[in-house]
Amino acid sequence: MSQAISVTVLTKNSQQHLAQCLHALHRFAEVLVLDNGSTDETLAIAARFANVRIVEHAFLGFGPMKNLAAQHATHPWVLSIDSDEVLSSELTEEILQLDLRDTHKVYSFLRHNFYGKKHIKACGWDNDYVLRLYHKGTTRFADLPVHEYIQTDGLQIHTLQGTMDHFSFNSISQLIAKMDHYTTLFAQEKRFHKSSSPAKSYFKWAFSLFRNYVLQRGFLYGYEGMAISFSNANGTFYKYMKLHEENQRLGISLIITTYNWKEALATVLKSAFRQSELPREIIVADDGSRDDTRALIESMAKESPVPLLHSWQEDIGFRAAESRNRAIAMATGEYVVIIDGDMVLHPDFLKGHRRAARKGYFTQGKRVLLSPELSQDLINRGPAPFSPFSAGITNRFNATNSPFLSRLFSKDKTGIASIKSCNMSFWMEDIIRVNGFNEDFVGWGREDSEFAVRLLNSGTKRQNLAFGGVAYHLHHQENSRQSLPANDTILEKAITDKSTFCPNGIGKHLPN
């Protein structure tokens, strides 16, 4: 039965235990060593074993690397072993005697974890059953950079009797090095998927230490138990602190649509310049304004704290979809916030959108409506935030900026009711996936709703941002609604067809 199994081993500077690991695998016909840049004797050691085949590749994350190793493996059954793990002879014999005709079975076995030469049965290192033998035509590892696992939906898990020794660490230095590496991978993986804070990091550290050292009996294993308990706790602290830092870093491109209202645009741009968290760039999406708008942008670019770019298209009618696509195609940020050129921003507007940003979601913000008199006053004197009790505003709750209330009341929402592109944000990757705004829309209305339909149909979820992302809408006469019947038809077709992509979109404006 050994001919049906390939063993895969990931390596990088694994010379300490690799010979022992490979010697325990000598009865298997093929051992595939996938190395990602060893500079010690790892490759020389691996080359000494006749059943070992070496493949070299840059590191992609543990899940992707293990799947890549399986692709290189000759046999359909794959036994995934780490370079510091050693199979017992009993486990080897048990595996080689398995009847492997049922490809919907996967196999696990008990792993004994060592610190130096001491077998540790505490700190969460006991009862460590690992799933490692699978049929690569049936399942694979999840493509996670760390904490990868074999996917088992619809499969039967069988536990073997044999055991494997895992020589985890020999020193405090190894604990610290691995902790630093794994916490970085965790933060990168969970970035904008999971929230964190310094307080959360501290409480998780305290609980982890108590659990490992007291509840899981680390105190029974001398200094090794203490070292492992503190390392696990510190790893928990640092992975959430690193995640907190990662969630602060977001390259935002701010897109501002405009058409022949330079006075309002000047006020909006000034409010963008005064953001507590500046965007990477500001791009004015101009639907064919006169030269005085261009002159204004060129003048204000000299005082802008970030690059201020001008995307202009010929004035041949209301074409907001194409105007936005052209501007987004110029953007370099991973996250795009879109506002209209009549939306004056609260100083924490972009901070609110950054706090709300989550992978797999687009965000619908709100607006504070201003009276004609207050709008003109704001244009005359420049941007200034209002309280919910200021005279001349409606939608008063929308004028409240509170991170605490925002976390409580911002919520997921289904459907496209109240979609308004005057205050919305998206991940660039989601925009590209659905091909941006549909340029079949000409005239006012519905291009934002149809865009949202395709995002939702493609699996991107919607969240409404409350008490954050505050913006004040300057009063003006409404645009003509004469194009609504034709635009409603395009929208209804997208809904009926469950569209996820529009042919006439942003793709034609992108460099590649």
- Determine the pLDDT at residue 1: 42
Q: Among 247, 279, 306, where does a domain finish?
A: 247
Q: Same structural domain for residues 239 and 274?
A: no
Determine contact, residues 171/99, Cβ cutoff 8 Å: no
C-alpha–C-alpha distance, residues 446 and 452, integer Å: 10
What phi, psi does 435 have (nearest 5°)?
A: 70, 35
pLDDT at site 3 = 59
Spatial distance between the Cα atoms of 31 and 34, rounded to a whole number of angstroms: 10
Same domain, 230 and 328: no
Q: Structure tokens of 218?
A: 């680390």
Amino acid, res. 131:
L
**How far is the CA of 433 from the CAs of 338, 361, 416, 451, 452, in angstroms?**
18, 13, 19, 11, 12
Q: Which amino acid makes up residue 366?
A: K
Are both 115 and 184 inside the same structural domain?
no
232 and 254 within one domain: no
Looking at the fold, whether 275 and 416 belong to one and the same domain comes out as yes
Q: Of the candidates 244, 250, 96, which has an alpha carbon nearest to the alpha carbon of residue 162?
A: 96
* Type of residue at 171: S
Range of the structural domain that residue 35 is part of: 2-169
Same-domain pairing of 193 and 292: no
Predicted local confidence at residue 431, as pLDDT: 98
Q: Are residues 322 and 444 in the same domain?
A: yes
Task: Measure CA of the first residue to CA of the last residue in the chain; give whole Å.
Answer: 50
Q: Do 381 and 439 fall into the same domain?
A: yes
Q: Which two tokens stand for residue 52?
A: 């070992």
The residues, any chain, with a CB within 8 Å of residue 239's CB and separated by 6 or more, are: 182, 183, 186, 187
What separation in angstroms does the CA of 18 have from each of 13, 128, 264, 336? 9, 21, 68, 47
Query: Which pair of tokens denotes residue 206?
Result: 């305290």
* Residue 438 and residue 503 in one domain: yes
Identify the CATH number of the domain in which residue 9 sits: 3.90.550.10
**Residue found by looking up tokens 């072993």 in the block:** 81
d(CA 368, CA 255): 19
How far, in Å, CA of 239 to CA of 357, rounded? 20
Contact 135, 101 (CB under 8 A): no
How far is Cα 465 from Cα 375, in angstroms, rounded to an integer?
24
Same domain, residue pair 28 and 130: yes
Residue finishing a domain among 247, 271, 292: 247
Q: What is the domain count for the chain? A: 3
Residues 224 and 282 in one domain: no
Chain centroid to Cα 68, Å, comes to 22
- H/E/C letters for each residue in 201-231? HHHHHHHHHHHHHHHCCHHHHHHHHHHHHHH
Mean pLDDT for back-to-back runs of 10 residues, the chain (512 residues): 82 96 96 97 97 96 96 97 97 95 96 94 93 97 92 96 93 90 92 94 97 96 94 96 95 97 97 97 97 97 97 94 97 97 96 96 96 93 84 88 93 93 97 97 93 97 96 87 89 96 96 78
What CA–CA distances, in Å, run from 239 to 133, 187, 198, 202, 204? 30, 6, 11, 11, 10
Yes or no: say if 435 and 324 are a contact pair by the CB < 8 Å rule. Answer: no
> Of 169, 184, 207, which residue constitutes the final position of a domain?
169
For residue 401, the Cα-to-chain-centroid distance in whole angstroms is 26
Please indicate, yes or no, whether residues 315 and 241 belong to a single structural domain of this protein. no
